[in-house]
Amino acid sequence: LTMERDLSMALENGELQMHLQLQVSQDETPVGAEMLMRWRRADGSSVPPDVFIPVAEATGMIVPLGRWALHQACLAWLRLDAMGTPLPLSVNVSPSQFRQPDFVAEVRAILAETGAPAAQLIFEVTEGLLIENLDATIERMHELALMGIRFSIDDFGTGYSNLAYLKRMPLYELKIDKSFIHDTPADANGRAIVQSILAMAGHLGLRVVAEGVETQAQATFLSEHGSPGMQGYLFSRPAPLNDVIALLGERN
């Protein structure tokens, strides 16, 4: 496939870029940012990540891409810190990347090389990670957590339905999938699901981020039900680091 071949060249050709999307608290103070990979081909066309990430997963390209993304996240954190606006950064980690035998060693090496603090990184993993080798996965999460890395379950509510694993993992956060946020506040089932996740996370002592917040009505609903962190186009779109630095600078 052309995309497969092109993707394997994209990294060395400088066609990949990491964008950042701010996460905000109820008063719209930035509290973190998610690193999101973007691929713009030499001809100027963009390939959406929900198209190329699955290809990268299937071909094993996600391993070098994920390594590069983590390295970029560390560099981004250091630049934000140098500008006086340090923010915890969330990095998406694919299941096949997480399962690489040398994943922990690689994370350690990137942290050592860049000097970025592990405690400023949040690894977003999906429930798909929990389908296979649960014991080995949880053991590896604990190993990384001991280094200071924090963990978030991305797209929470859309995958694996067994909640028993939540108690066994060193978790920091749940990210409520944007499909549920989309259904608030208009839809009664949507409201019920979001309220239930917020209540459960509260009982488990987990931080929550609501994804895909696009309307003021959604933000108001969330503020009335526990004020989780919020991420979405209502507040800021994914953007290159320089744009995010400029935006944070304007606030100060």
Using rule CB under 5 A, residue 154 touches Mn ion: yes
Q: State the binding partner of 53 from Mn ion, ligand G, Na ion, none, CB within 5 to 8 A by kind.
A: ligand G
State the nearest-atom distance from the C-beta of 34 to ligand G, in Å.
7
Could you tell which of Na ion, ligand G, Mn ion, none binds residue 214, using a CB distance below 5 to 8 A set by kind? ligand G
Binding flag, residue 124, Mn ion (CB under 5 A): yes
Alpha-carbon gap, residue 8 to 164, rounded angstroms: 38
Candidate list 184, 211, 229, 241; residue touching ligand G; CB under 6 A: 211
82's CB contacts (< 8 A; 6+ apart) are none
Size of the site for ligand G (CB under 6 A): 24
Q: Which residue in 36, 78, 247, 248 binds ligand G (CB under 6 A)?
A: 36
Q: Measured over all CA atoms, what is the biggest interatomic distance in the chain, rounded to whole angstroms?
A: 50
Contact criterion met (CB below 8 Å) for 151 and 122 = yes
Q: Is 127 in the site for Mn ion (CB under 5 A)?
A: no
Cα 141 to Cα 98: distance, rounded to the nearest angstrom:
9
Q: How far is the CB of 139 from Na ion (least distance, A)?
A: 25
Cβ neighbors of 53 (< 8 A, separation 6 or more) are: 37, 62, 94
Alpha carbons 214 and 236: distance in angstroms, whole number: 10
Residue type, 125: V
Which residues lie below 8 Å from residue 34, measured CB to CB, with a gap of 6+? 20, 21, 23, 89, 90, 91, 92, 124, 231, 238
Using CB under 5 A, which residues numbered 169 to 228 contact Mn ion? none
Note whether 96 binds ligand G by CB under 6 A. Answer: no
Q: Taking each helix axis from N to C terminus, what angle separates 103-114 and 62-82, rounded to the nearest 10 degrees? A: 30
Indicate which of Mn ion, Na ion, ligand G, none lies near residue 94 (CB less than 5 to 8 Å, by partner kind).
ligand G
214 binds ligand G (CB under 6 A): yes
Across-strand partners of 229?
209
Smallest gap from Cβ 63 to ligand G, in A, equals 10
CA atoms of 218 and 135, how far apart (whole Å): 37
Residue 27 sits in the site that holds ligand G (CB under 6 A)? no
173 in contact with Na ion (CB under 5 A): no
Q: Which residue is nearest to Na ion (CB)?
A: 155
Residue numbers of the site for Na ion (CB under 5 A)? 154-155, 211
Residue numbers of the site for Mn ion (CB under 5 A)? 92, 124, 154
